[in-house]
Structures are given as structure tokens and as C-alpha cells.
Amino acid sequence: MCISSKKLEINKNEEVINIINLKAPPELIGSLRLKDDIYPAYHMNKEHWITIKLPGRLTDDELKELIEDSYRLTA
């Protein structure tokens, strides 16, 4: 999904960025948000969802694991 970077409060520029919203276990949300390019969920329940900027600083393996976890939590 493409959104303005202002919506994540990344910067004051109106830069269009790619993101993905993923569901994560509530007990991990806080530690995940400490990582670069992971933000409180854009237009989702911030207790259960995160937003990740793409491309970002996460490795492909980290991103794949988060996607798989999200799938398991929502399927």
C-alpha cells in the first residue's frame, strides 16, 4: 500500500512510501516498534498491528517471519 510519510510521522515531507500492515502478538508489539522502519499500525488497532516501511532495514528473513506470523494470527 502507498501512503504519505506524514501519516506515520516519519518526516514533514509529503513523500509517498510503500508499507505493509501485519498482525503481531501483542506482547511483541513494543519490542518490534523499537526496530527501524516499524511503526504503530496505520489505520489499524495499534495493540495488535504494526506497519512496516518497504523497502526498509529489515532483512528478507525477518520480513518473511513477520508475514508468516501475521498469516497464522489471522487465518
Q: What is the dihedral of CA 58, 64, 67, 68, to 10 degrees?
A: -150
Q: Is the pTM of this model over 0.85?
A: yes
pLDDT in tens, the chain (75 residues): 998 888 887 767 788 989 999 999 999 999 999 999 999 998 888 889 999 999 999 999 999 999 999 999 998
Tell me the domains of the chain and their CATH numbers: 20-74 (3.90.1150.30)
What does each C-alpha distance from 13 to 4, 38, 51 come to in angstroms?
8, 18, 19
Q: State the residue for C-alpha cell 518490534.
A: 32
